Each structure stands twice: as structure tokens, then as C-alpha cells.
Structure 1
Amino acid sequence: MLEDRVHDTARARVPAQTRKVVRHSVRGQVLDALRAALLDGGLAPGEVYSGPALGERFGVSATPVREAMQQLALEGAVECLPNRGFRVLARTPRERAELAEVRALLEVPVMLRLARTAPPETWSDLRPAAEATAEAAATGDAAGYADADRAFHRAVLGLAGNEQLVRVSEDLHRRAQWPLPGAPRVRRAELVADAAEHAALLEALVAGDLAAVESLVRAHFRGAPA
């Protein structure tokens, strides 16, 4: 079945620990597979891809591919080219730096407020999310780590009780994860180091060390794996 083939394609790119939710939508499966391909180099910045060609690649019709690509266009990963397909956008170092700055403007004040007001046990409850990033990093899979990384930040910001903040921050986070053109494949050591910063951040939050929280978050955004 088409859905089974796409599911197998998506699973091949995602580590076992992230395969907990089975998507029933072919579009959703294709979207997951395309996002993974963007992160691991399967779709290259500047290249143009047609819906039918990608549909053949994933064993589905062009329709769910086009629908998934429309979502990626909203996320700033591709642009639509009438009668041609979709071009993968090339992120620039300046755009990456701007995204890091905007994320810091949003997240640092929230985390500082939470550090002052949330009880220590709140942060202990988030240790599994931090450990999940470490486990994903250990596999060296960029796409799997990207999912776990967003999940950790989503869990932290969710404590603020502001759904709009979480939604906007996740969109910025996902945009920041698209690789720079020509960038070498992210090494496992880089992912492991990035994941270790999540554990350090939790320790600073438990201790209520506001200076350490701010320093860690800003450095984390600046040094996120490209």
C-alpha cells in the first residue's frame, strides 16, 4: 500500500525512540520524510524538485507531496515555482544569526521568569525530555535530534502557559534548524554537545541561577548545530 511505503521511508530516517506516534495521513508521513531529507541533505538548498518526481521517490502520488511542500513553504524551507515545482531555499549565516537573536528575545525573559517562580521539582519533571535529546544525539541522526530538541524547548516554554508563545517559538526554532548551503553534515559530537547544554540549563533552573540561565540560553542559540 502507498501509505505503508511512505511510512517505511519516513521510519528509515527517524530513530526508534521517536517512533511513538503512527501518522494515519499520507501527507503527514510525506511531510515528516521531507523535513528529514532537508536536514540530512536529501534535499539540497537551491535545487528545484517537482511534485511528481518526489512522489515517485516516496511511492505516492504527487498530491500529498504538493500538500506537504505547501506546508514547508509556510515554514520558510521552500518556495513554490509555478509549473516547475519547489525550490529549497538557501539559508544565509545572517538569517541564522537573526533567528538566534529573535529566539533569545522571546525565550530568555520567559525562562528567567520561570526560574524565579517555578518550584525546583518542575524542572526535575523535564529531565526525561532532556535525556531524550541526549539519546537522539548519540545516534548521530540530525533529523531525530531536531525533533527531540524542539520537544525539549516546547516542554520548557509550555510551563509559561502561553500557547501563542510556544507556537511562534517552535516555528522560529524549526526555521533555525534548516542547514546552511554547503555546510558539512552535522557530526554526532556536535549534537551530543548541544544536548548536554539542555542538562546544564535544567541544573541552572533548579538552582535558580539567573545569570547562568541567561548565559546558557544565549550561547545555546548561537551555537545550535547547523
Structure 2
Amino acid sequence: MPGSSGNGAVTRSTLRQQIADALRDEVLAGRLQPGQEFTVKEIAEQYGVSATPVREALVDLSAQGLLEADQHRGFHVHEYTVEDHRGMIEARSLIIEGMFLRLEKSGERYHRPDDPRIAAAVAGIRRRGDEAQRAAAAGDLTILIGYDLRFWRELSALFGNPYLADFLHRLRVQTWVCTVQHLRRLTDLRGQLWSGHPELVDALYHRDTARAHEILTSYNTDSLALVERLAAG
């Protein structure tokens, strides 16, 4: 029947996304190491599901650059280089600079303190930033990544372009995967992680794009220097 077929497709699609999200979190947490190989069968058995949604989830993560397919063998976690990290930061910066430019040219669209929806959205982003700052201070990388991704996703959504928000989110996931592969070499991350989220959202809310630019330039410079240092041993 058409109805049951449709429900089956929705269930499989949902399962596919759940598996992709779970595996992405495993990579971000460093539990799936760079170069680590696995098969569709192994993942299907681990999650107790059929092979089809697993294969689809792995293909999705490969398209996002997190995994690589090994012909006739399975998949493995992509191993990023310092040059990859540098390229990601450059791409990320270009997108964010475009967002800042839109804010400068059409500020009234995004900066309306009297609009309760805008105020509520900014308050939510600020809370995410505060939590990210606390996680960074504690050196809790897993918690920081979760709040950081939510912070940027919600912040970019304010600019009204879902394609821009989605692209930036994917870039930030890739950047975190690359960064985690190096940060896991440190036993104590306190003082090593960026915690400028609250300051950034406050600068943008007040349309101080010059200050926001300074914050992100410092963040990118320090992040790249840390990865370069760790990669060099």
C-alpha cells in the first residue's frame, strides 16, 4: 500500500540520519580514530540495524568529507592535514565575512531590539555561548563542540539564508574533526580552547562588526597556531 511504503521510507530515512549523527559524534569525540577502518556489516551489527540505512549513512558522511570509502573493503575515518585546517579556516572566514557585510549593509533587518523574536533568538544564542565558554574553561572538549556547533548554527540562521547556515555548519563540523585529531594528544585542554562566544554575539548584536572581526581573526590565528604546533610534535 502507498501509505505503508511511505512510512517505511520515512523510518529508513530517520534511521539513516540517526546513524550518521551517531557516527559523526564518534568521530568528533575521537573514539573513531583517523585511518580507522570498518565495514557496513560491523556498524550494522553494532547498532542492531539492517545494512541499508548504515550504508546510506556512511555514504552521507563520506560526502561531507568525514569518511573515505575503501573499494571492496569498507570505510575509514578521513585524516586531515594542517593544510586542510588552513583551507577550512579560510573558507569559513570568507563565509562569515559575507555575513558581516550583510549586517553592515542591512543592519535594520537583523538588529531590532524591539522585535521579541530577535531578542529571544539572541538570548538563546547567548546562552549557548555562555555554556561553550564554561566548557572551554573546564577543558571539556566534547561539551564545547556540542555547544559551539549549536551556537554557530543558530547565529547564522539569524541571517535568513538556510543554505549559508548549512554550508557553514558543515565546515565547522569538518574543522572540529580536523582539530580533534590533534587536540586529543593533549591531556589537559584548559586554557587551550577558544571561549569568545559571548563576546562575539554581543559585538554582533550591537553591530560592532569591527570588533567581531578582531575576535574571529584572533580566534583563527590562535587555532591554526595550536594545530601547527601539535602536528609538529
Q: Distance in 1 between matches of 2:179 and 2:204?
A: 32
Displacement of 1:45? 0.6
Q: Residue 79 of structure 1: SS of its match in structure 2?
A: strand
Are residues 1:198 and 2:197 paired? yes
Q: Distance in 1 between matches of 2:94 and 2:119?
A: 22
Letter in 1 for 2:123: R
Letter in 1 for 2:163: Q
Q: Distance in 2 between matches of 1:112 and 1:123?
A: 21
Q: Specify the alignment match of 2:41 in structure 1.
A: 52
Are residues 1:119 and 2:118 paired? no
Q: Residue 179 of structure 1: SS of its match in structure 2?
A: helix
Q: Distance in 1 between matches of 2:119 and 2:158?
A: 10
Decide whether aligned partners of structure 1 residues 208 and 182 sit closer, same or farther in structure 2, where only a CA change above 3 A counts: closer
Q: Specify the alignment match of 2:210 in structure 1.
A: 211
Letter in 1 for 2:202: E
Q: Specify the alignment match of 1:38 in structure 2.
A: 27
Letter in 2 for 1:214: H
Q: Residue 75 of structure 2: SS of its match in structure 1?
A: strand
Decide whether aligned partners of structure 1 residues 141 and 55 sit closer, same or farther in structure 2, where only a CA change above 3 A counts: farther
Instruction: Please list the CA deviations of residues 107-128 of structure 1 after superposition, one character each: whole Å capped at 9, or x if unmatched.
Output: 1231243256132634674232
The 10-residue stretch of structure 1 (175-184 or 53-62) with the greater mean CA deviation from structure 2: 175-184
Q: Distance in 2 between matches of 1:212 and 1:119?
A: 16
Provide TM-score, normalisation by structure 2: 0.73
Q: Distance in 1 between matches of 2:56 and 2:26?
A: 16
Letter in 2 for 1:128: G
Q: Distance in 2 between matches of 1:107 and 1:210?
A: 11
Displacement of 1:27? 1.9
Q: Distance in 1 between matches of 2:13 and 2:72?
A: 29
Q: Distance in 1 between matches of 2:139 and 2:42?
A: 28
The 10-residue stretch of structure 1 (70-79 or 165-174) with the greater mean CA deviation from structure 2: 165-174
Decide whether aligned partners of structure 1 residues 133 and 29 sit closer, same or farther in structure 2, where only a CA change above 3 A counts: farther
Give the superposed CA RMSD. Answer: 3.0
What is the aligned counterpart of 2:17 among 28, 34, 57?
Answer: 28
Q: Specify the alignment match of 1:132 in structure 2.
A: 128
Gaps of 5+ in 1: 1-22
Given that 1:81 and 1:87 are in contact with CA atoms closer than 8 Å, whether structure 2 keeps it comes out as: yes
Given that 1:97 and 1:222 are in contact with CA atoms closer than 8 Å, whether structure 2 keeps it comes out as: no
Q: Distance in 2 between matches of 1:29 and 1:66?
A: 13
Decide whether aligned partners of structure 1 residues 36 and 45 sit closer, same or farther in structure 2, where only a CA change above 3 A counts: same
Are residues 1:162 and 2:167 paired? no
Letter in 2 for 1:44: Q
Displacement of 1:102? 1.0
Provide TM-score, normalisation by structure 1: 0.75
Q: Specify the alignment match of 2:5 in structure 1.
A: none
Decide whether aligned partners of structure 1 residues 164 and 125 sit closer, same or farther in structure 2, where only a CA change above 3 A counts: closer
Instruction: Please list the CA deviations of residues 154-213 of structure 1 after superposition, one character each: whole Å capped at 9, or x if unmatched.
Output: 22222222222222222222211113585242756368x53x311001221233323211
Decide whether aligned partners of structure 1 residues 48 and 24 sit closer, same or farther in structure 2, where only a CA change above 3 A counts: closer
Among all aligned residue pairs of Structure 1 and Structure 2, give the percentage whose two residues are the same amino acid: 28
Decide whether aligned partners of structure 1 residues 30 and 140 sit closer, same or farther in structure 2, where only a CA change above 3 A counts: farther
Given that 1:123 and 1:202 are in contact with CA atoms closer than 8 Å, whether structure 2 keeps it comes out as: no
Q: Residue 80 of structure 1: SS of its match in structure 2?
A: strand
